[in-house]
Homo-oligomer: A and B are copies of this chain.
Amino acid sequence: MAIEASKTGERTPKIRLGMVGGGAGAFIGAVHRMAARLDDQYALVAGALSSTPEKSAASGRELGLDPERCYGSYEEMAEKEAARPDGIEAVSIVTPNHVHFPAAKAFLKRGIHVICDKPLTSNLEDAKALKAVADKAKALFILTHNYTGYPMVRHARELVRSGELGDIRLVQMEYPQDWLAEPIEQTGQKQAAWRTDPKQSGAGGSTGDIGTHAYNLGSFISGLELDELAADVHTFVEGRRLDDNAHVMLRFKGGAKGLLWCSQVATGNENGLKVRIYGTKAGIEWTQADPNYLWFTRLGEPKQLITRGGAGANAAAARVTRIPSGHPEGYLEAFATIYTEAAAAINAAKAGTAVDSAVIYPTVDDGVKGVAFVEACIASSKQNGGWVKV
């Protein structure tokens, strides 16, 4: 119950939010809107929901937006909203990858906070350029690596930080799916089409779409920095233009090692994101499909199943927990936590105060690392799996 709009006695006004992308039929746009609504911190007031002005207007109408705030392009939205006294204070960017950079730049340079889907950009050059923009901007940049919002992920991260695991030896990450086991992009499936198109996605297919999630999550929990990797990136489905499977061996700074497997052709897997971390004192295992549980085992002791909201959950988990144990929270709640953490940071920025040190959200730096990871995977694979520094 830790997260609700109201903690201080006075209601903080909702943050005025715009959205780029996310028109009718876009899965992730609807997710961002639900995430923004859940904790009641945002009011969606404007949108460039499609790159086709008519579609943008129609989608806006369906969402109840003021027609004059439904724009045909993000440039238009950035310019006009920045000029309004009641203009948007933040924008969600939920387009295919290649639009992230120009869109984010357009808003950041006008002082509008950006909440952007991952991966950061479609290539490392853009990523670094966006970082440069973000670093100079007066607005915040939040990357929605949404899995970091799960309470048990926060719990796990805190276990590592507090030394409960001892020295980390192994970080094993995997993210198998099966939805691209057949060439559905050739049948017009929209989600598949842009994700397998190098122009929209960049150099990585499964590596960019889900490998970055797994890598981000392993890094988030372990706190480790990747040193180098060796990858065997592959496309199993004939005619597909981007990878749909990758095997990656990892070496972290400080001596820990890792494996990362991402796949879109692992028949029988839905969103099998899993992170396992083993240290000298204890090990943890977390599976996204069953997110309210965390396995925690101290060396030489019985396995413990920590539950969200339960007896063993720590303060880092409790901060982002809405309802009691045994009543599961899911993906949308974790996603909402990213939005609510962003709101805390944005509200602090508005108030000119420091944000609470407990507030955590993925940043442009995490985004750069993610794109660097993808490019390193591709580079290593081109060298037949040679080690590549990141």
Contact A266 B170 (CB under 8 A): yes
A289 to B265, CA, bound (A): 26
Q: Is A224 in the interface zone, CB < 8 Å from B?
A: no
Given A38-B38, A181-B299, A230-B232; A328-B328 close (CB under 8 Å): yes
| Residue of chain B at shortest CB distance from A178 | B299
C-alpha gap A127/B309 in the complex (Å): 34
CB atoms of B330 and A328 under 8 A apart: yes
Which residue of the partner chain B has the closest CB to A64? B11
Partner of A11, one of B14, B62, B330: B62
Task: For A299, give its contact among B182, B276, B301 (CB under 8 Å).
Answer: B182
A63 vs B13: C-alpha distance in the bound complex, in angstroms? Answer: 10
Bound-complex Cα distance A64 to B305 (A):
39
A247–B249 contact, CB under 8 A? yes
Q: What interface size band does chain A fall in?
A: 35 or more
The distance from the CB of A336 to the nearest CB of chain B, in whole angstroms, is 9
Q: Which residue in chain B gives the minimum CB-CB distance to A268? A: B297
Q: Bound complex: CA of A305 vs CA of B303, how far in Å? A: 5
- Which residue of the partner chain B has the closest CB to A258? B247
Residues of B within 8 A of A34 (CB): 38-39, 322
Q: Is residue A1 within 8 Å, beta carbon to beta carbon, of the partner chain?
A: yes
Which residues of chain B are near A332, meaning CB under 8 Å? 38, 322-323, 329-330, 332-333
Is A278 a contact partner of B302 (Cβ separation < 8 A)? Answer: no
Instruction: Contact check, B306 vs A249: say whether CB atoms are below 8 A apart.
Output: no
Which residues of B have CB within 8 Å of A310? 270, 302-303
Residues on B with beta carbons closer than 8 Å to the beta carbon of A13: 64
A85 CB within 8 Å of chain B: no
A387 to B301 alpha-carbon distance, docked (Å):
39
10 closest A-B pairs by beta carbon, nearest first, are A270-B326, A271-B326, A268-B297, A6-B62, A302-B312, A267-B283, A11-B64, A330-B330, A268-B283, A327-B331
Q: List 20 A-B contacts (CB under 8 A).
A: A1-B27, A1-B30, A5-B62, A6-B59, A6-B62, A8-B62, A11-B61, A33-B40, A170-B263, A172-B261, A178-B283, A267-B297, A268-B285, A269-B283, A270-B309, A270-B327, A292-B330, A304-B305, A323-B331, A385-B385
